[in-house]
A and B are shown apart, each in its own frame.
Chain A
Amino acid sequence: MFSRFAGGVHPPERKDTSDSSVEVMAAPKKVYVPFSQHTGKPAKPLIKKGDEVRIGMKIGEPDGLISAAVHASISGKVVDIVDHPHPVTGMSLCCVIEGDDTEDWVSDLQSDLNIEGLSKGQLLDAITQAGIVGLGGAAFPSHVKLSPPKGKDIDTLIINGCECEPILTADHRLMMEQSEAVIEGAQIFQKILGAASLVFGIEDNKSDAIRIFRDRGVRVLALKTKYPQGAEKQLIKAILKREVPRGGLPMDVGCVVHNVGTCQAAFMAVKFRKPLIDRIVTVAGDGVRENKNVLVRIGTPVRDVIDFCGGYTGKPKMIISGGPMMGIAQYADDVPVIKGTSGILVWNEITTVEPGPCVRCASCVDACPMGLMPTEIYGLVSNKKFDMAKEYGVLDCIECGCCAYVCPSAIPLVHYFKYGKNEVWRMSKK
């Protein structure tokens, strides 16, 4: 198989929904669209309470360089602009839209444009206007990734179809059902970046998707199924054998990585001027009646999605936004689905283990794909030695969770590293 990255783990895949086609969920009664769904500054609100909105209408515009637009995902009336629970940040300003039960799109939605003749600038603009962000989870504004600064030549565009998180199958289904849109989106990216080569990286547990893409004539590398194969730096290493330098970005080694979902969204944005107003979400777990993939409007409360999947089976103990390795456990089910929400997991049965002392077993060191020493950093962070933690590379941690996954003492290592990072950043600001 292809040159691997060091470390990583093999959690049970449990991709039980990989054969269930995406079901479209109708517009919910109410959506809570956060102005911050991406890395960077929240969008600037363009509407006020009482405004009528249509599907696809821009309700927030990018504020500054690293930011993204947000759009109304249903047609109706803005009933409030208020702080509301947010799956990632805890609380965030949201535009609350009450639906009017119509499917009216904003007037300037186009049908089937001819995109052949569009210039790079026009393509990039269409993507910016549509509020496209990375749909793999990190939600980095795509137009920023597509505009590398002068001097950074991009030779390779990598499209990430790994979906290495266990349980999630949203990307897999997308690749199966909309391969053409994904490929065309990728080619749009390639054109914007002027990259000589385009390669798809797909884990070898999705051989059907690999076949479809190969049949369509694009270059696909079948990658070993290993978590976190889909992490940007590990993927680049596996495909190009290039190592992104510490603190650097993929563009430093001449490449850019985009997720398959992002490609599809960008294609829709360019071809139909359709903004990012919905996404595919894998709903799974013993706590929800039907496990399946659902196309959900952005801003739909998680509870409504669970209702659409037949409701709860019992009393849920844990609701996760995202995958089991990197997803975020939620306080309540009123948080909305946002652009980066790849999964909703509902569990009735969970096992909680009391953390024990670190027994220096080194499992975490062996598992860390970033070559860190989690046990050391954990010790440093818990003793509040943040400068030492920084030296030991806490900022290099990608929070993949491999270390905590293998830790026999059940130490919540990632929790410490997130805290440690925040402290290091806080110190460097002072």
Chain B
Amino acid sequence: MENVEKVKQLLVVSASPHIRAKKNTSVAMRVVIGALVPALAYATYLFGTRVLIITGLSILSAVGFEALMQKMLGRKITITDGSAVLTGLLLAFNLPPGVPWWIPVAGSGFAVVFAKQLFGGLGYNFINPALAGRAFLMASWPSLMTKAWLEPVGGTLSGIDGITAATPLSLLKNPENYGDPQIIISQLNDIDAIRNAFFGKIGGCIGETSVLLLLLGGLFLLFLKIVDYRIIAGYLGSFALLAWLLPTKGSVLFHLFSGGLILGAFFMATDWVTSPVTTKGRWVFGIGCGVITMIIRVWGGYPEGVSYSILLMNVFTPLIDRVTRERVFGQMPKKGVKK
């Protein structure tokens, strides 16, 4: 007790609470990136090292454009938060493996510059940058984006033997272009084709092939509560229900395992920034994604529909948040929620 010095104090006086949970934004971003690595490794095996070049270019240019924009706009450079890396990675996952090198650069550039930084940067963008980048590429170079497929090692692009020119979903949309529609459709819904899709012996965009690996990564995020189960359950649930109800030629499993649905539901619809914050809103958002995806697949001009449905729901997110407010504790039912 004698050596108790009078502490000349320079104490930190911050607001309560004085302890914080460990979760922080950049760690969460890194975990999401980690959850996607198995799928990336597998895609490299399927389509060759080209995948790594495309993905690397996509990430590098996302990070580069982010730094450049932040410098130009006089913002703090935050490229270490991992969000640009994730945007680049997700964009690459949504590209066909055979695209030329400048495609990922242009896509990431659009994603980061127009969809993210011009809106104010992380947290202020209202649409998912990676999906915006992909939509931009689809609109500008449609043929590259829908044709630059590569044959996977040990499988076919379509997942069924003998047909190598189309992805399963475009095959489902126009089977008559490739042979006897009856036979093709039954082959597509056959357990073998479904198994190929699940394990990823199938072509498609870089990151969407192996349902199994995506599911493992996605469940890991769900377990860590980094992604919200309501969005995923709403999306997959409504989607599966409609796949069963609507007049589509594919089976429920076929639809669930194709066209990047798992990638979209677990990794893109759940993007924090662009999905609703209310509990009810997250259900609405997920269900909306599922319904729109299925409508596009059945009646739309594109075979898959995942990215457009999410983008569309991104646009509705502010509205959803406004109309699905939380019930405040002690708020009496009925006479609540005034406008």
Contact = CB atoms under 8 A, between A and B. Distances in A.
A352 B329 contact: no
Nearest to A11: B19
Contact of B272 (A311, A327, A360): A360
B123 interface: yes
B17 A404 contact: yes
B11 A245 contact: no
A332 interface: yes
A371 interface: yes
Interface of B: 1, 3-5, 7, 9, 11-21, 23-25, 27-28, 78, 81, 121-124, 228, 272-279, 282, 321, 325-332, 338
A370 interface: yes
A400 to B, nearest CB: 8
Given A324-B18, A405-B17, 11 more contacts: A243-B330, A247-B330, A311-B4, A319-B11, A357-B123, A366-B279, A371-B326, A373-B278, A396-B328, A406-B20, A406-B23
Contact of A320 (B7, B18, B24, B325): B18
A412 B18 CA distance: 10
Contacts of B12: 317-318, 329, 350, 352
A-B interface, 4 closest residue pairs, ranked by CB to CB distance from nearest:
A401-B17, A415-B15, A357-B123, A311-B4
A373 B122 CA distance: 20
B4 A357 contact: no
A296 to B, nearest CB: 17
A248 B14 CA distance: 30
Given A325-B17, A329-B11, A391-B338, A359 B123 contact: yes
Secondary structure at the B interface, as helix, strand, loop or mixed, is loop
B21 A412 contact: no
Contacts of A376: 277, 321
B329 A369 contact: yes
A391 B322 CA distance: 12
A14 to B, nearest CB: 9
A187 interface: no
Q: Most chain-B CB neighbours within 10 Å: which of A248, A316, A356, A414?
A: A356
Contact of B19 (A310, A325, A409): A325
B16 A414 contact: yes
A310 B1 contact: yes
Given A359-B122, A373-B326, A396-B328, A410 B11 contact: no
A333 B4 CA distance: 13
Contacts of B123: 356-360, 409
A100 interface: no
Contact of B329 (A233, A353, A391, A404): A233
Q: Which one of A303, A319, A365 has the highest number of Cβ atoms from chain B below 10 Å of its Cβ?
A: A365
A371 B272 contact: no
Interface residues of A, number: 76
A428 B321 CA distance: 27
Nearest to B78: A356
Contacts of A407: 20
B330 A248 contact: yes
Contact of A409 (B25, B121, B278, B332): B25
A353 to B, nearest CB: 7
A356 B16 contact: no
Contacts of A11: 19, 21
A166 B11 CA distance: 22
A244 B330 contact: yes
A312 interface: yes
Given A324-B18, A418-B15, A408 B28 contact: yes
A327 B329 contact: no
Contacts of A40: none
A359 B274 CA distance: 9
Given A11-B19, A311-B3, A245 B25 contact: no
Given A353-B20, A365-B326, A311 B14 contact: no
A99 to B, nearest CB: 19
13 contacts: A243-B330, A244-B329, A316-B9, A317-B11, A324-B16, A356-B122, A359-B123, A360-B274, A362-B275, A362-B277, A362-B282, A392-B325, A408-B27
Interface centre among B15, B18, B274, B328, by most chain A C-beta atoms within 10 angstroms, is B18
Interface in A355-385: 356-363, 365-366, 368-373, 375-376
Nearest to B228: A362
B36 to A, nearest CB: 18
Interface in A318-357: 318-320, 322, 324-333, 345, 347, 350, 352-353, 356-357
A359 B273 contact: yes
B18 A318 contact: yes
A393 interface: yes
A406 B328 contact: no
A332 B12 CA distance: 10
B327 A325 contact: no
Given A166-B19, A358-B123, A408-B23, A352 B338 contact: no
A387 interface: no
B1 A307 contact: yes
B16 A330 contact: no
A429 interface: no
A9 interface: yes
Nearest to A244: B330
A352 B25 contact: no
A365 B16 contact: no
A184 interface: no
